[in-house]
A and B are shown apart, each in its own frame.
Chain A
Amino acid sequence: MNGSIAVAEAGYDEVLRDVMTFLNDQTKRRYEITESTNMARDLNLDSLAVMDVLLALEDKFDVSIPINHLAEIQTVSDLARTIIDIKKG
């Protein structure tokens, strides 16, 4: 599975940590956020809120994350992986 490959890659842990910190701030630490947290279901983020998370993360990581990726981004881990993939170009 490509998941395990991505996890092994350098940078994943850092990006994941940053994403989790960011989401914790956004949701005012109301949830226990882990790698497998589903943003819509577990964090109660509606589609617009998830897009706003992307918007803010674009600035944090200085990348462009087209919203076309949204369909593939469900969990916190998906999000971190997408950012890494995009950063690699």
Chain B
Amino acid sequence: MSLLARFTHVANNYGKATALGANPFKVRMEKVISPTEAIVNGRQTTLAGTHNYLGLTFDADCIEAAIAALRQEGTGTTGSRVANGSYSHHRGLEDELAEFFGRRHAMVFSTGYQANLGMLSALVGPDDHLVIDADCHASIYDGCKLAGAKVTRFRHNDPADLEKRLRRLAAEGGNKLIVIEGIYSMLGDEAPLREIVEVKKKYGAYLLVDEAHSVGVLGERGRGLAEAAGCEADVDFVVGTFSKSFGSVGGFCVSDMEGFDLLRVASRPYTFTASLPPSVMASVRAALKALQERPELRRKLHDNAALLYGELSRSGFTLGPVVNPIVAVRLEDPETAIRFWNGLLERGVYVNLALPPATPNGWSMLRVSVSAAHSAKQLMHIAAVFRDVAYDLGILEMPVRAAAF
């Protein structure tokens, strides 16, 4: 049997997805113009699927900081911090993150994916239990595998279900670590954090929240869902990424846990990989500054999300349950979603295609991610193009008044 034969079903789905038009997994951004525009297939395209929440990828301060670091410290660290040492930006970024989150400790990883792998694999071992929200991101599932702990899922955003599962585990030894996300990337919904904290306390468990999509987005100061829900003290670990609100790449974890620094030698995904290049950290530090000094970015982001959500909702689309920068549009089946996605791209609007099994409840969806950098005009255009495609595909009825013109 060929090595790749076990992916036959993947190949079949892939074939179906690509047979209906452009290949959704191989979109080429021929030229990136701004946080919200690129040339795709020779066409000027509005970007609405890039999780560039604060639109900082072209921020002048971030770019200048990166260039200065490149000049001063070179293109890369050529190894891990354990082997090649920490640069001033490593400690500088960690100190600033700890201060921003009001935590004693911060640790930076090379990606958000590795932050989850690094934390989960180091925090628990084979005698412990990970209790994770069923809709958690792939990096959390992979972190669970690396941890080797026993993994129990609970129904998405259901504290009563979490409690039921912790009760079943109560007689078993070992630590219990609950893992959830702030804003979930598929539907844009938020974890019921206060209720989950209650359950956590009752059963003496620990809690890790992946705030990949909520740092810079939620909370008075942009610290994420834990801040917005007023329960930061009860969240033992906050994990996040620099690849969304910070407009760069990398991941982190902050915590008040005693002995946290031990993880620098105990966490293999931290120890055995090259550390972030100075230029990346410099741009992230500038982004962290922007995030704190320019709260108007966050306000604009939420106004933008409300605008697009309202437009699409009034047009008759089925959307995720809450207004957030991820606007999930639910469609009938994978084929409709693929056709819709192609229709949008052909008209110059780029969003994310989300198909089962990566989606909750086997839903087929288009995910639009709103940025503070979108203008109202761009968002109205995105909504208009969504309607056009929906009329074309017969998903929405053309309003009588509009049809008469």
By a beta-carbon cutoff of 8 Å, the part of chain A in contact with chain B is 46-49, 51-52, 54-55, 58-59, 62-64, 66-68
Contacts and interface: CB of A to CB of B under 8 A. Distances in A.
Given A51-B134, A55-B155, A58-B168, A46 B357 contact: yes
16 contacts: A46-B356, A48-B356, A48-B357, A49-B357, A52-B134, A55-B134, A58-B152, A63-B168, A64-B152, A64-B165, A64-B168, A64-B172, A66-B129, A67-B151, A67-B153, A68-B151
A47 B7 CA distance: 13
What is the predominant secondary structure among interface residues of chain B facing chain A?
A: mixed
List of 4 A-B pairs having minimum Cβ-Cβ separation, nearest first:
A66-B150, A46-B357, A48-B357, A64-B168
B150 A49 contact: no
B231 to A, nearest CB: 26
B362 interface: yes
A68 B150 contact: yes
B357 A55 contact: no
A3 B168 CA distance: 27
Contacts of B165: 58, 64
Contacts of B356: 46, 48
Contacts of B169: 64
A54 B356 CA distance: 18
Nearest to A66: B150
A59 B168 CA distance: 10
Given A51-B153, A55-B134, A62 B168 contact: yes
A55 B153 contact: yes
Interface residues of B, number: 16
Interface in B149-185: 150-153, 155, 164-165, 168-169, 172
A71 to B, nearest CB: 10
A24 B172 CA distance: 32
A47 B357 contact: yes
Interface in B111-136: 129, 134
A66 B151 contact: yes
Nearest to B168: A64
Nearest to A54: B153
A26 to B, nearest CB: 12
Interface in B337-372: 356-357, 362
B357 A67 contact: no
Given A64-B168, A66-B151, 10 more contacts: A48-B356, A48-B362, A51-B153, A55-B153, A58-B168, A64-B150, A64-B152, A67-B151, A67-B153, A68-B151
B49 to A, nearest CB: 22
A48 B144 CA distance: 15
B152 A66 contact: yes
A14 B357 CA distance: 31
Nearest to B166: A64
A33 B362 CA distance: 22
A63 B169 CA distance: 9
Contacts of A48: 356-357, 362
Nearest to B130: A66
Contacts of B134: 51-52, 55
Contacts of A63: 168
B193 to A, nearest CB: 22
Nearest to A40: B9
Nearest to B360: A48
Nearest to A63: B168
Q: Residue among A46, A47, A48 with the most chain B CB within 10 A?
A: A48
A63 B150 CA distance: 13
Contacts of A68: 150-151
Given A46-B357, A48-B356, A67 B152 contact: yes
B309 to A, nearest CB: 27
A38 to B, nearest CB: 13
Q: Residue among A47, A62, A63, A64 with the most chain B CB within 10 A?
A: A64
B187 to A, nearest CB: 15
B244 to A, nearest CB: 24
Q: Residue among A55, A58, A67 with the most chain B CB within 10 A?
A: A67
A49 B362 contact: yes
A49 to B, nearest CB: 7
A52 B150 CA distance: 16
A2 B91 CA distance: 55
Contacts of A47: 357
A45 to B, nearest CB: 9
Contacts of B155: 55
A30 to B, nearest CB: 15
